[in-house]
Structure 1
């Protein structure tokens, strides 16, 4: 089939009956649920972009294997030009969502592509696992599927490994083997957009210990597989709020969920790792699923930071406070943050590395630097937005107030901005800002960015230790040569 349309995606959502729980109630029809409906529509727009003449040649290519058009997220890059093709697809989706949807379809499609291009890793442990991942990549690519994933164990007793938990199946683990497949039980999170996805992929993150063999699992299943329960977090909006009042929260709510597996059967041809702690710990660092998706998340993070910066600049301009030096300094800080991420992204692409398999990988050092900076830069942008907007962020009237003739005169008079900015324009900008910096929707985006790739402290420690192993800090030795020469002279 190749690239699908938004209508085809919506029809797929309508055709499924996953077990979704939202606010204590079982969702009978995902598309008809107000909290989820607009999200489905926004994702459908991304699929339609692939057919739009303005974008099609930029974000898709003809697959050599099938002759069909597929998204560039499925492209295995061989050189710089291929990396730029990928970036074009990432940028198009990120701009369409203002960088606010961290789990747009391209993210996990890159993960699957990386696993496919490193199928030799799986083959080292089990030839069937390698064949399974190759087959699954083609299934996702050729049907343009939308995936969610869950790779984190529930936050229970973090001081203990999976096999040491009080309940053997608090964490997702294998119950038994059958001729048809593997039976699994337990939970995983954080499955973003799970109710509206086609499939879920479970894979491993380093940290498994001896005794955790039953929990060393990687597999994929349709989201409506019997026994798979989706428990959604509290919604950040009710799906009924007017677009004028909540232009972002009403469109881009990415529901997150806990996935509970109640003795779910995983067919053997859907198993990628099982009962192997070493493979589970090495999957993330050895298959490119850390590095290649970091390219996508860097592009998306850049657009998200740029959007927050532009909103803050427009907010300041709308009430004329950007004439003050301290406000100009703050806005300059945000713009420089955006340009720093942009420069790091370009360096990562230009200084790409080629793997033994012939795959072009963006340079991991600038990508990890982006991952280290964004959890600080984005919260800083939100803080400055709150500071510049001040009390005005708390006072915006509703669209209904604007439409009431009795209130219109007062609103037009007292909510007006600087010269040339109408009350409608000023309030619209403030509502946009409030969605980002004050609403529960915006606070979720803030927390999401802080922990997008895990614990930022641990990530920076891992980064430092990796750099220490690779570099010898020769400039220090060069600087010390002078003192060493003096010491020799003294000894004589």
Structure 2
């Protein structure tokens, strides 16, 4: 099989819808339900991008395949390959305005790193390689679930009130592992074909955590798998909720109720030492590239939105507004520079696959979680009461107060419809529940910001150059001190006067 289009994606989702719960309602049709239909349609549009005229560079033919597949599965072996992947990520991110963080090019980037460093998995290395080809050749949409539910963060998995609070192995059978428990927070899981599951924890796994040290893949519609979703923000109309109606990328807790994971999908089986070393796969090199490109697209969208909204009401002439917009554009260019630096510093692994330089990608990951809340704050500050000024919904234009809207909601050079449409977008991002979720997402999608920065910018950082500079100065200072100390005392009259 080869790359699929949006219609094929939606058809498979219709026939393989997961068990999905929104409150007390069980959704049986993800494609058609108002809470999930908008995002499903947007994901289908991403698949269609691969076949649009001018996007031929979004497909390639692997040597071990049967036809063209998506560039998200391209293992880069040259600078041109890295640039092609960069362009693919940017087209997908631009298409969703950076609003969908877990489009399938994120988990496929992770899986590609697993494939490139499959030897890490020992006896299961060929299972990882086979699964990568399966996902690639069927162009599957993957989500992932890696964190544990926050029942008692002070205790490890083995000391939770129920041994299967966190996802663990209950039994080994001839067919595979029987697992129970939960994982979170599977963003975009309702729209995915399969879920990649592995344990992410800042706490090192001890021998007693062995049953929880597992990594596997499972179809979202596998028996015993159910998704418990947060409150949906979608379902509105495209005028009043221009972003949330299309891009509400649902988050879910994944519950595993005695789920059978076939042996060919088990990649790590109760190997706590291997789980503690899983960072060696270096998947952050590729997921970091995707998230950085997406962040750049999102910042560009916010910058464009802020500039257009201030143009509409003529506040773009004020120096404080220009300074604020300039702050956003600074973040854009720092992100762009980091992406290019990561590509320029890419190094091959033992099989010749080029892995982007992690250092600038980590720097962006550790900055973007602070920048995005700041740019959302900028929107609130420069648009102020205008974010709360809009009529409740589009029906007001066809009501007895339509003339009031025409008079009091127009701008200096634009109609009330034009002005309101811009500010509806801004309000959806700056003050809605959808916008609040996005701020929380950017803060925490990669983990706790403080520990993330400690681990990547302190513990794992190469301090050779910074320390070399201070050590060089101290060595020079010591040499000067020795030279001064060995100098002959001044025997002149002027020197003796002291």
TM over 0.5: yes
> 2:120 matched to which residue of 1?
121
| Higher gyration radius (CA) | 2
Cα distance in 2, alignment partners of residues 459 and 295 from structure 1: 17
Q: 224, 234, 238: which one pairs with 1:227?
A: 224
Question: Is this contact kept in 1: 2:224–2:259, CA < 8 A?
Answer: yes
Question: Is this contact kept in 1: 2:31–2:41, CA < 8 A?
Answer: no
Q: 303, 324, 327: which one pairs with 1:330?
A: 324
After superposition, what is the alpha-carbon deviation per residue over 1:18-46, rounded to whole angstroms, capped at 9, x for unaligned?
A: 21111211112222211111111111111
> 2:111 matched to which residue of 1?
112
Cα distance in 2, alignment partners of residues 483 and 16 from structure 1: 71
After superposition, what is the alpha-carbon deviation per residue over 1:387-434, rounded to whole angstroms, capped at 9, x for unaligned?
A: 111111112022111233x3232212111123x222111111110001
Question: Is this contact kept in 2: 1:412–1:422, CA < 8 A?
Answer: yes
- Determine helix, strand or coil for the equivalent of 1:247: coil
Cα distance in 2, alignment partners of residues 491 and 164 from structure 1: 64
Deviation at 1:298, TM superposition (A): 0.6
Question: Is this contact kept in 2: 1:247–1:435, CA < 8 A?
Answer: yes
- Determine helix, strand or coil for the equivalent of 1:171: coil
After superposition, where does 1:226-305 map in structure 2 within 5 Å?
226-237=223-234, 239=235, 241-283=236-278, 285-305=279-299
After superposition, where does 1:316-327 map in structure 2 within 5 Å?
316-327=310-321
Cα distance in 2, alignment partners of residues 421 and 341 from structure 1: 34
Q: 194, 199, 207: which one pairs with 2:189?
A: 194
Change (3 A) 1:132 1:380: same
Mapped pair 1:211 → 2:211: no
Change (3 A) 1:472 1:383: closer
Deviation at 1:218, TM superposition (A): 0.3
Cα distance in 1, alignment partners of residues 151 and 430 from structure 2: 30
Deviation at 1:58, TM superposition (A): 2.2
Deviation at 1:308, TM superposition (A): 1.1
After superposition, where does 1:9-88 map in structure 2 within 5 Å?
9-55=9-55, 57-88=56-87
Q: Could you list the runs of 5+ residues in structure 2 that have no partner in the other structure?
A: 487-498
Cα distance in 2, alignment partners of residues 482 and 130 from structure 1: 52
Cα distance in 1, alignment partners of residues 389 and 83 from structure 2: 44
Moved over 4 A (4+): 468-472
- Determine helix, strand or coil for the equivalent of 2:261: strand
Deviation at 1:65, TM superposition (A): 1.1
Cα distance in 1, alignment partners of residues 438 and 139 from structure 2: 27
Aligned residues: 482
Mapped pair 1:368 → 2:369: no
After superposition, what is the alpha-carbon deviation per residue over 1:125-149, rounded to whole angstroms, capped at 9, x for unaligned?
A: xx2x111111110110000000111
User: What root-mean-square deviation, in Å, do the aligned CA atoms of Structure 1 and Structure 2 show?
Assistant: 1.3
Cα distance in 1, alignment partners of residues 277 and 472 from structure 2: 37
Give me the TM-score of the superposition, normalised by structure 1: 0.95
Deviation at 1:477, TM superposition (A): 2.1
- Determine helix, strand or coil for the equivalent of 2:244: coil
Cα distance in 1, alignment partners of residues 105 and 329 from structure 2: 27
> 1:379 matched to which residue of 2?
373
Q: 478, 481, 484: which one pairs with 1:487?
A: 481
> 1:2 matched to which residue of 2?
2
> 2:418 matched to which residue of 1?
425
Mapped pair 1:441 → 2:445: no
Cα distance in 1, alignment partners of residues 30 and 342 from structure 2: 40
